[in-house]
């Protein structure tokens, strides 16, 4: 017989169950010039002891000047030079461990990536615009730092541009997941101003500003079918985030734009809604959902022809794991079941009991014939390439079990004294 003493919600810190309050992220990139500190904290009664483990389960050892597991549960990683780089320190997998008499829990794995500082600069690439149409500018950085750099601001003639909301008909529209695209709508020959951008490195905080670039806008000398200049070909947005996909073409007369969604092998026109709207060259997606991922098609057309280009969007979801029930009290010989729920897409599942692998890759874990060795903490881990998450539940011994142990202890003592 087993008893479920918890409702299906996360325990509050006032409960005595063991749980993480701060857990390392699944991936951490840091600059060699800044170093990093990673916090780990857990709650429970009695208070758990925090330690750090390497991928093979061995305790993390101190490496003078490079790595130290501090008494407060922080993993410290110092700044270092290229000559001091060590793959076992700077390209390693770490996990946090919290242990008490209630049991043991492990954090998700943290994959560490130390990024070496390299010189980088920012440039603006501009396209030729046709009067009445759109002109396009792109802020570019070297590919070696692209994953860590985003555009903070755009300037026109040295003055910061405040990109108006596309739906409000603003002339300057910033798009792309890194804000690296600037569209000048209704371009005019007097738009031949100088434009620059400022980019910031997420790991170091360093900012770089590009040299000014000129936009050339001229009147079309003859009729011309639309020709694509650019489209947001491969963009990523976190689930719940906002993004603007940009499509830009030149033509005479200036082209009009339509957006379509690929669905079940067909192209469906995008109609404006609360979350998704079209404003000429820009497709605006708010509070992105997983279903928004996929291919969107931009069509630029005038009476002399049309051109289409696909924009691919990936929506990065966050894994959320829960285990139910979160607390079970079981008597000797009974059976208990833990259920693991995973939100956020497909993921591999594994179980741990006090930090040791148990069960298979199923989302249901059954414990038959409960004995004293089964008590402790059970964790379900959900993992995929870019993300991982975990949740824990506790199995305690019931009153009947403890009475049985007490009687057994008294019997052993009596036999000992008689001998």
Residue 363 is predicted with a pLDDT of 94
Smallest CA-to-CA distance from 242 within 165, 312, 298, 177 is with 177
Using alpha carbons, select from 297, 169, 309 the residue that is nearest to residue 227. Answer: 309
Distance in angstroms (rounded) separating the CA atoms of residues 98 and 43: 9
User: CB-based burial of residue 346 (10 Å sphere; 0-12 exposed, 13-18 middle, 19+ buried)?
Assistant: exposed
What is the per-residue pLDDT for 83?
Answer: 95
Q: Could you count the other beta carbons within 10 Å of the beta carbon of residue 207? A: 13
SS3 369: coil
Res 317: pLDDT: 87
Instruction: Kindly calculate the radius of gyration of the chain based on its CA atoms and give it in whole angstroms.
Output: 29
pLDDT reported for residue 398: 85
Cα 309 from Cα 267, distance rounded (Å): 13
User: Would you call 292 helix, strand, or coil by DSSP?
Assistant: helix
Query: Backbone phi, then psi, for 84, in 5-degree steps?
Result: -90, 0
CATH topology identical between 2-116+318-403 and 123-316? yes
Integer Cα distance of 104 and 352 in angstroms: 9
The closest alpha carbon to 212, from 130, 122, 127, 143, belongs to 122
Instruction: Give how far Cα 92 sits from Cα of 85, 98, 115, Å.
Output: 12, 20, 13
Which of 358, 401, 368 is CA-nearest to residue 103? Answer: 358
Distance separating alpha carbons of residues 283 and 166, to the nearest angstrom: 9
pTM: 0.78
Per-residue model confidence (pLDDT) at position 215: 81
The verdict on domain 2-116+318-403 having CATH code 2.60.40.10 is yes
CATH superfamily of 123-316: Immunoglobulins (2.60.40.10)
How many whole angstroms separate alpha carbon 226 and alpha carbon 256? 9
Q: Going by C-beta distance under 8 Å and a sequence separation of 6 or more, which residues neighbour residue 25?
A: 110
Give dist(CA 175, CA 137) in Å, integer.
11
Q: Is 310 exposed, middle or buried (0-12, 13-18, 19+ CB in 10 A)?
A: middle
Helical H segments across 122-178, by residue range? none
Give me the residue spans of the domains in the chain. Answer: 2-116+318-403, 123-316
DSSP-derived 3-state class of residue 414: helix
Helix (H) or strand (E) holding 377: strand 376-384
Structure tokens at 332: 């000797």
Class of residue 117 by CB neighbours under 10 A (exposed 0-12, middle 13-18, buried 19+): middle
Closest Cα to residue 126, out of 2, 36, 229? 229
Residue among 99, 115, 100, 93 nearest 38 (CA): 93
If 0-12 CB within 10 Å is exposed, 13-18 middle and 19+ buried, where does residue 365 land? buried
Cβ atoms of 224 and 251 closer than 8 Å: yes
The one-digit pLDDT tens for each residue of the chain (419 residues) are: 333 333 333 434 334 579 999 999 999 999 999 999 999 999 998 899 999 999 999 999 999 999 999 999 999 999 999 999 999 999 999 999 999 999 999 999 999 999 999 999 999 988 777 777 888 889 999 999 988 999 989 998 888 887 554 444 577 888 887 888 888 888 777 766 789 999 999 999 999 999 998 887 777 778 888 888 778 778 899 989 999 898 888 888 889 999 999 887 788 999 888 899 888 888 999 999 989 999 999 999 999 999 999 989 999 888 999 999 999 999 999 999 999 999 988 899 999 999 999 988 899 999 999 999 999 999 999 998 878 999 999 999 986 544 444 444 433 334 434 44
């Amino acid at each position: 017989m087993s008893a479920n003493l918890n409702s299906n919600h996360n325990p509050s810190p006032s409960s005595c169950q063991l749980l993480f309050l701060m857990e390392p992220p699944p991936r951490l990139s840091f600059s060699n010039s800044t170093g990093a500190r990673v916090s780990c904290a857990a709650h429970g009664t009695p208070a758990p002891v925090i330690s750090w483990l390497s991928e093979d389960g061995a305790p993390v050892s101190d490496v003078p000047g490079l790595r130290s597991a501090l008494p407060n549960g922080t993993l410290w990683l110092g700044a270092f030079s290229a000559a001091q780089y060590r793959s076992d320190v700077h390209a390693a997998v770490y996990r946090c461990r919290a242990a008490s008499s209630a049991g043991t829990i492990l954090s998700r794995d943290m994959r560490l990536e130390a990024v070496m500082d390299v010189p980088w600069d920012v440039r603006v690439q501009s396209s030729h615009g046709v009067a009445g149409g759109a002109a396009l500018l792109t802020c570019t950085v070297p590919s070696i730092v692209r994953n860590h750099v985003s555009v903070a601001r755009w300037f026109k003639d040295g003055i910061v541009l405040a990109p108006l909301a596309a739906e409000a008909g603003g002339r300057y529209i910033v798009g792309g997941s890194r804000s690296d695209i600037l569209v000048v709508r209704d371009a005019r020959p007097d738009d031949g101003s100088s434009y620059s951008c400022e980019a910031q490195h997420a790991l170091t905080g360093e900012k770089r500003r590009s040299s000014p670039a000129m936009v050339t806008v001229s009147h079309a000398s003859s009729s011309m079918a639309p020709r694509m200049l650019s489209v947001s070909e491969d963009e990523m947005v976190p689930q719940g985030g906002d993004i603007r996909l940009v499509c830009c073409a030149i033509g005479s007369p200036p082209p009009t734009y339509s957006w379509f969604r690929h669905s079940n092998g067909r192209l469906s026109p995008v109609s404006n809604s609360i979350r998704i709207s079209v404003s000429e060259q820009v497709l605006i997606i708010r509070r992105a959902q997983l279903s928004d991922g996929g291919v969107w098609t931009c069509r630029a057309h005038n009476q002399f022809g049309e051109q289409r280009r696909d924009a691919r969007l990936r929506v990065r979801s966050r894994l959320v794991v829960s285990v139910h029930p979160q607390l079970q009290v079981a008597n000797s010989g009974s059976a208990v079941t833990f259920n693991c729920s995973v939100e956020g897409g497909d993921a591999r599942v594994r179980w741990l009991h006090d930090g040791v692998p148990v069960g298979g890759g199923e989302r249901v874990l059954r414990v038959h014939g409960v004995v004293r060795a089964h008590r402790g903490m059970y964790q379900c881990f959900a993992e995929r390439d870019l993300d991982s998450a975990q949740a824990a539940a506790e199995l305690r011994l019931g009153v009947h079990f403890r009475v049985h142990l007490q009687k057994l202890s008294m019997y052993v003592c009596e036999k000992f004294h008689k001998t």
